[in-house]
Amino acid sequence: MRNPGWIDLQVNGCSGIDFSSPELTGDDFLRAAERVLESGTGCFLPTLITSPFGLYRRNLGVIRRAVVRHGLEREVPGVHLEGPFISADPGAAGAHNPDWVVPPDPEKVEALLDLEPGFVRLVTLGADAENAAGAVRLLRSRGVAVSVGHHLADSGEIAAAADAGAQALTHLGNGVPGMVPRHRNPIWAGLAEERLSAMIITDGHHLPPELIRVICKVKGAAKIIVTSDASPGAGLPPGPCRVFGSDAILEPGGRLYNPATGYLAGSAVMLAECMRRLESLGIFSEAELRMAGRDNALKLIGPA
């Protein structure tokens, strides 16, 4: 499979560098960006997870100044805010700190977007959040792509988000509790909503092959977006590490998890590896793999 320059909409950091760290520097970001781009990713969105407002103010500026200073606007056209407008339920929040979750009030949404105007390209919010549909409409009116996830939303709430303009589902199959109702749950509801593309993590740990096959068959290549969900643990040797401010363990096989909760703490690989794993399943042709690893992501966020 030829690499056309994969586009990754969810990179939380790598090589011990956390884009959501209150200690992130411009040099840190540039070192991480270099490693991401060297891995075969042609363009990516640095992703900040649920954090206090002051952290967004600080780190959005740090990242944007580094990008502009080094002429990386095409490679890093903006950021993905995964939160803070998600579910505070521990199972849905996953590696996010539920204490920092807030409802998507218009004032809060506008305040975040105004920190670095035009730099937020994608926001993940919970479709079950209070005023979720209103927040989706506001974000879309500001030219921001919207994905729903890290929620316990039912089919009606997911449909309402799609009605309001939401376009995708953030890492479908993850960001939910380990045990959910067998029939009525966010995974089935997301699969059934034909208007929403499915972002999926094909690192070999987030989703079993059979679920990847089902999602890909139901959504079709035109509505699959592969993301790495690369965390600060990506590129580190196996063993204990710090991820998103918490202790984590990276196993020799590549599984990265928080030992206190058992939940995965992002992935330990880059998008090229995720695409190789997806290719190995034999679901898509080379042209369809290009759609899933590049074209659909570009369609979602628009050109740099």
Residue 3: per-residue pLDDT: 83
Q: Say which range, 70-74, 94-98, 242-246, 281-285, has the weakest mean pLDDT.
A: 242-246
**Dist CA 263 CA 95 (whole Å):** 7
Q: CB–CB of 94/263 below 8 Å?
A: yes
Q: Say which range, 57-61, 83-87, 94-98, has the weakest mean pLDDT.
A: 94-98
pLDDT at 94 over 90: no
Nearest residue to 198 (alpha-carbon basis) of 86, 92, 291, 74: 291
pLDDT at 95 over 90: no
* Fold held by 6-301: TIM Barrel (3.20.20)
Half-sphere exposure of 45 (CA within 13 A, CB side): 29
Residue 66: per-residue pLDDT: 98
pLDDT at 130 over 80: yes
Whole-model pTM?
Answer: 0.96
Nearest residue to 171 (alpha-carbon basis) of 142, 147, 141: 147
Predicted confidence band at 263 (pLDDT cuts at 50, 70, 90)? confident
pLDDT at 2 over 70: yes
229 is an active site residue:
yes
Q: Which of 28, 128, 203, 229 is catalytic?
A: 229
SS (H, E, C) the chain: CCCCCEEEEEECEECCEECCCCCCCHHHHHHHHHHHHHCCEEEEEEEEECCCHHHHHHHHHHHHHHHHHCCCCCCCCCEEEECCCCCCCHHHHCCCCHHHCCCCCHHHHHHHHHHCCCCEEEEEECCCCCCHHHHHHHHHHCCCEEEECCCCCCHHHHHHHHHHCCCEECCCCCCCCCCCCCCCCHHHHHHHCCCCEEEEECCCCCCCHHHHHHHHHHHCHHHEEEECCECCCCCCCCEEEEECCEEEEECCCCCEECCCCCCECCECCCHHHHHHHHHHCCCCCHHHHHHHHHHHHHHHHCCC
**Dist CA 13 CA 23 (whole Å):** 13
Cβ neighbour number for residue 60 with a 10 Å cutoff: 21
Which is more confident, 20 or 265? 20
Residue 304: per-residue pLDDT: 58
Nearest residue to 195 (alpha-carbon basis) of 151, 136, 150, 142: 136
Using one digit for the tens of pLDDT, what is the confidence trace for 36-52? Answer: 999 999 999 999 999 99
The identity of residue 237, as a single letter, is P
Domain ranges within the chain, ordered by starting residue: 6-301
